[in-house]
Structure formats: C-alpha cells, structure tokens
Amino acid sequence: MERNAEIKFARELKSFYSLTFISLVFGAIAMGLSVALGVTNILTFINQWSPVSLIPACIGFLAFPFTIKWLLSGVEIMDGVNEIKDEYSKVKKGANGEALTTLIVRTMAQYRAKKSTISKLILLCKVAAICFIINGIFVLIQLVLNMPADGLLLATSLVAALINLGIGAVGLYIPRSFQKYSSCWEVRIQGSTLAEKELSSLMEGK
C-alpha cells in the first residue's frame, strides 16, 4: 500500500508541478500579449484614427490586470509546490509510511491554505482566456471583411489570430486541470473529516 501511495504521490506532485509551471509560462505570455495588444492598437487608433482598433486595445487593457493576477497566483501556488517538492526529495530514497503520511498531511495543509488562490486562478484564467478568444475571433472577422491583398499581411493576421486563440485555449485548459486537482483534494479533505472522527474516538477512549 505504501509503495503504491508513494508512486501515486510522486506522479501527482510531478503533474501538479507541470501544471503550475505551464500556468506560469502562459500567464507571462498572456501578460506580454495583452500589453502588446493594448499598446499597438491604441497607437494605431491615435496614428490612423481607426476606431476599430479601439476594440482590441480595450480587450488588451481589460485582460492585462487579469493576466497579472494570473501570474501572481501562479507564483504563490508554485511556492507551495516547491516546498513539498523539496520535502519529498529529502525523503525520496527512504520514503516509508511515516514519511509519506507526513508528506500527505503537508500537501493537504498546503491545499487548504492555497484553496482560495486556486479558485482565484481558475476564474482569472477563464476571464483572460475569454478575452483572447474574443480578440482572436475579432481578428478573423476583420480578416474576412477586409481580406488583405498582401500575402505577408494576411499571414501575419492569421498568425495573430491563431496565437490569440491558442492562448485562449490554453487559458481554458489550465482552469480545467486546476479544477481536477481541487476535486481530487476535496475528496481527501472529506475523507480526513471522517478520519478525524475515528482519531477522536480513539483519543477520547484514553
């Protein structure tokens, strides 16, 4: 049972670390992209007096605070994952039932502490993702309505739309995975409440 639990723990830790890392990377890309989107389109609006540029500019500036928060929440979660990873690497070679139970307790405590941050991250990612998807669709609509004759311009617009849609898709995938992580730990938290009753009756018998 201990060996199985250790393998499962190691796999989960690796998966959660990867998810948090992906979230951080895409959070950073999304933040950069939102600034670029806002600034380039506001400049286009000022220079060419093109009101249509205001829409992506607004989307970019709207997404920006969400991407900042996305990034900060990711850093906060990563901090907790690294703590658990360090502790696991210390006991990895001789992980017995006791060491593993301590790791489970600490991961559970980390989850309880970071639960609200994870919920926040789920929401922020979704909002930012929706902003990028809307912008991707907007770029595609613009492309259909005013098909550029210049091949390079067409390719650039297509790439821009695909990048926006891609970031949006990842932005929707990340919260789904965090939700899966949360539901796994919620089951365990509920289990620990039942375990507490057994432990309490053992101690009361003393």
Partner 1 sequence: MRGKRTQYEIFWEILTYCKTPRLFTSIIQRCDLNSKIGQEYLNFLESKGYISRMNEGDRTFFLTTHAAHEFLDLFMKLYLALFNNSPEFKI
Q: For binding to partner 1 (CB under 8 A), which residues are involved?
A: 1-2, 4-5, 8-9, 11-12, 15-16, 18-19, 80, 83, 97-98, 100-102, 104-106, 108-114, 177, 180-181, 183-185, 187-188, 191-192, 195-196, 198-200, 202-203, 206
- In the block, which residue shows the tokens 């609200």? 116
Compute and round to an integer the Cα radius of gyration of the chain.
Answer: 23
CB 1 to partner 1: min, Å: 6
Q: With contact defined as beta carbons under 8 Å apart, do 182 and 196 qualify? A: no
Residue appearing with tokens 């375990």: 195
Shortest Cβ 154–partner 1 spacing (Å): 36
Neighbours of 140 (CB within 10 A): 17
Shortest distance in whole angstroms from residue 131 CB to partner 1: 24
Q: How far apart are CA 43 and CA 134, in angstroms?
A: 20
In the complex, minimum distance from the CB of residue 195 to partner 1, in angstroms, rounded to a whole number: 4
Smaller CB separation from partner 1, 9 or 45: 9
**Coil, strand or helix at 96:** coil
Q: Which is nearer to partner 1, 153 or 187 (CB)?
A: 187
> Please, where are the H alpha helices in the chain?
2-48, 54-91, 97-145, 151-204
Query: Could you give the CA distance from residue 9 to residue 145 in angstroms, rounded to a whole number?
Result: 53
User: What minimum distance in Å lies between the beta carbon of 183 and partner 1?
Assistant: 8
**146: its two tokens:** 């005013």
